[in-house]
A and B are shown apart, each in its own frame.
Chain A
Amino acid sequence: MKVPFERVVAEHSATVLRVCRAVVGRHDADDAWSETFLAAMRTYPELPSSANVEAWLVTIAHRKAIDMIRKQRRIVSSMAIDTSSTVASPSSKNHELWNALQSLPDKQRHAVAYHYLGGLPYLEVAKILGGTPEASRRAAADGIRNLRKTYHDMEIQETSR
């Protein structure tokens, strides 16, 4: 049986927002979330009742995110990037984590977001990203390793300060 869409939103809203934040960044996450749920609501009546709703939503979010990232990169490449604004404040560690996540190769960032934040099994992650579940698992593991390297570097910087 198809549950009212309100229950889909209530159940998956926070997780999909988390995934959007990880994939497109904090500033565009709201737009990605909104486009995802609007598109999902449009086609919800046709969704088979046996479908994995979380995987379906993350798949839509992925497509929306790809579109947005393409747009972002067009904008960013036309602007000079100002690196002098990285001030050492209490929030700068968080800021660094965001930057680390955003600078991961797309496939690693997507695999980390969909598996660890979206809670999808690698079988579902692979359906979204293409390739084998094993390749998705490796991409997620590489992503976590690269992120850890960033934390570690930051911790060394902080202790040597």
Chain B
Amino acid sequence: MKTKTNVQQDISNLLAFTAAPPGAVDRLHRRLEEAAAGAGILDVAYTTIDTPIGTLLLAATERGLLRVAFETEGLDLVLDGLGRKFSPRILRSPKRLDPVAFEIDEYFARRRTAFDLALDFSLSSGFRLAVQKYLPQIAYGTTDSYKHVAALVGNPKAIRAVGTACATNPLPLVVPCHRVLRTNGELGGYLGGLAVKSALLKLEGAS
């Protein structure tokens, strides 16, 4: 016996048989990543990696690494910020971050003491940029003070501004703001939290 089909039934039939087959959405996403990168419109590619200090978000432009973010910053908020400050043409696309993920793995395995990566400092400017560009010169396993860094970048009175430059470092870990402490040896501050800062110093054998 046939009951009369209603429009709702027709719609659900339609929805059932036009539904995406399993795996289609992921496959198409990968295809979009490649096409966008090939067309030069993948302004920001990002991925997340698991490390001993938690999940990190890595984001890169065509020019280099743009942002390293800690999970505690809220990864969606970080991406929103990149969309606002840099470009909303952002895709999860791990491929561009492969070399970065590789070097960070080596760093945590104590097989790497310096990063050899192209960096994109587009998110920084002025005095902060000068400080952040200087920081990689503080060697692995050593520390420096906010005060000394201020003097080295040519503005000995700008101790607080050095603190701000470290706190707003878009590339923590790779640009080692964790190696900057107070003159009295106290940790100061850290975007990823003080526990992470001391864990990194311990890993490097500096504490």
Binding site for B on A (CB under 8 A): 1-7, 9, 13-14, 17-19, 21-22, 30, 33-34, 37-38, 41-42, 44-45, 94, 97-98, 101, 112, 116-117, 144, 147-148, 151-152, 155, 159
Q: Which residues of A contact B89 (CB under 8 A)?
A: 5, 41, 44-45
- Whole-angstrom distance between the Cβ of A10 and the nearest chain B Cβ: 9
Residue of B nearest to A30 (CB): B28
| In the complex, B39 has a CB within 8 A of chain A | yes
- Chain A's interface: helix, strand, loop or mixed, by majority? helix
User: Would you mind naming 15 contact pairs between A and B with Cβ atoms under 8 Å apart?
Assistant: A2-B88, A4-B44, A4-B79, A5-B91, A14-B19, A14-B20, A17-B25, A18-B15, A18-B20, A22-B18, A44-B89, A94-B17, A112-B14, A117-B14, A148-B5
B2, B10, B15, B31: the one within 8 Å of A144 (CB): B10
What 1/0 flags go to B35-79 for Cβ under 8 Å of A? 110010100101000000000000000000000000000000001
Q: Which residues of B contact A112 (CB under 8 A)?
A: 14
| In the complex, B152 has a CB within 8 A of chain A | no
How far is it, in angstroms, between the C-alpha of A156 and the C-alpha of B181 when the chains are bound? Answer: 81
B83 touches A13 (CB 8 A): no
Binding site for A on B (CB under 8 A): 2, 5, 7, 10-11, 13-15, 17-20, 24-25, 27-29, 31-32, 35-36, 39, 41, 44, 46, 79-80, 82-84, 87-92
B2 touches A4 (CB 8 A): no
A151 touches B25 (CB 8 A): no
How far is it, in angstroms, between the C-alpha of A144 and the C-alpha of B46 when the chains are bound? Answer: 43
How far is it, in angstroms, between the C-alpha of A151 and the C-alpha of B28 when the chains are bound? Answer: 31
Interface core residue of A3, A5, A37 (most chain B CB under 10 Å): A5
- Chain B's interface: helix, strand, loop or mixed, by majority? helix
How far is it, in angstroms, between the C-alpha of A5 and the C-alpha of B35 when the chains are bound? Answer: 14
- Whole-angstrom distance between the Cβ of B73 and the nearest chain A Cβ: 15
Q: Which residues of B contact A13 (CB under 8 A)?
A: 25, 28-29
Residue of A nearest to B40 (CB): A42
Interface core residue of A4, A6, A116 (most chain B CB under 10 Å): A4
Q: Which residues of A contact B15 (CB under 8 A)?
A: 18, 116-117
- Whole-angstrom distance between the Cβ of B22 and the nearest chain A Cβ: 11
- Whole-angstrom distance between the Cβ of B164 and the nearest chain A Cβ: 25
B2, B24, B46: the one within 8 Å of A155 (CB): B2
B10 touches A4 (CB 8 A): no
A41 touches B28 (CB 8 A): no
Q: Which residues of B contact A9 (CB under 8 A)?
A: 29, 32, 91
